[in-house]
Amino acid sequence: MASVSSDSGETLSLNLMPMLDIFSILIVFLLMSYSTDPVSYDVNGGVELPESTTLSSLDELPAIKVTKTEILVNDRKVANIIGGDVEDKDKAQGAIQPVYDELKKLADANKRVLGGRVSEIDKVKMSTVTMEMDKNHRFKLMKRIMLSAQQADFIAFKLMVAKQSS
């Protein structure tokens, strides 16, 4: 119990026990909800993820981010989204040219790093890309991005979702 003396000599005591109780409960809650996922990631502010019951956790940071208004590849803005689709200047045979260009650079960099010694696991990793996309976008836009990625040798996708709490 903490106490202070006033000018009149009267001792005032402050009961700190309830405060300690609150702190203990808060710490227990925070420790229990502390993320044990392999990758801790703060979702982009401009993205609302759809909910899912999936058990698979995020294991790498997303290379493609599709917010409500723009597409980013490795945190670099490559295209604007207007009315749920990219601008006409960025479209190329159903794909998105700037997305393809950036992903191609990424694929080439991966190949350079790994060189000729590529195991089966590496091949799978090299052809997989993680994508964070706002839940209100339509498949039309997703298809364009997937097509761009496919042309840059990415054929598997990890689509980010918000895990529903059980």
Partner 1 sequence: MSKKKKRKPKYRDIELNVMPFIDVFSLLNTFLLMSAVFLSVGVLEVQIPFLTSAPPEKKEDERSFDVKVDMEKDKIQVTGVWSKPPLNEQKRDFKVTKEDIAAMHKFMIELRRTAPDTDKVSFFTEDDVLWKDISNVLDAIKVRGPADPVFAPKGATDVQKAIAAESIYPKVVMSSVML
Phi then psi dihedrals of residue 81, to 5 deg: -115, 120
Distance CA(71)–CA(86), nearest Å, equals: 9
* Per CB under 8 A, 49 contacts partner 1: yes
CA separation for the pair 62, 64 (Å, rounded): 6
Spatial distance between the Cα atoms of 130 and 86, rounded to a whole number of angstroms: 20
Q: How far is the CB of 43 from partner 1 (least distance, A)?
A: 6
- From the list 6, 11, 40, 93, which residue makes contact with partner 1 (rule: CB under 8 A)? 40
Residue type, 144: R
Q: Is residue 135 a contact residue for partner 1 (CB under 8 A)?
A: yes
14-33: contacts with partner 1 (CB under 8 A): 16-17, 19-20, 23-24, 26-27, 30-31, 33
**Residue 8 or 35 with smaller CB distance to partner 1:** 35
Residue 142 touching partner 1 (CB under 8 A): yes
Does 69 help bind partner 1 (rule: CB under 8 A)?
no
Bridge-based pairing of strands 64-66 and 70-73 is antiparallel
Contact status: 91 vs partner 1 (CB under 8 A): no
Stretch binding partner 1 (CB under 8 A), from 47-55, 73-81, 100-108, 111-119: 47-55
| Chain-centre distance for alpha carbon 92 | 27
Stretch that binds partner 1, among 74-82, 98-106, 108-116, 149-157 (CB under 8 A): 149-157
- The structure tokens 């060189």 sit at 115
How many Å apart are CA 49 and CA 163, to the nearest integer? 9
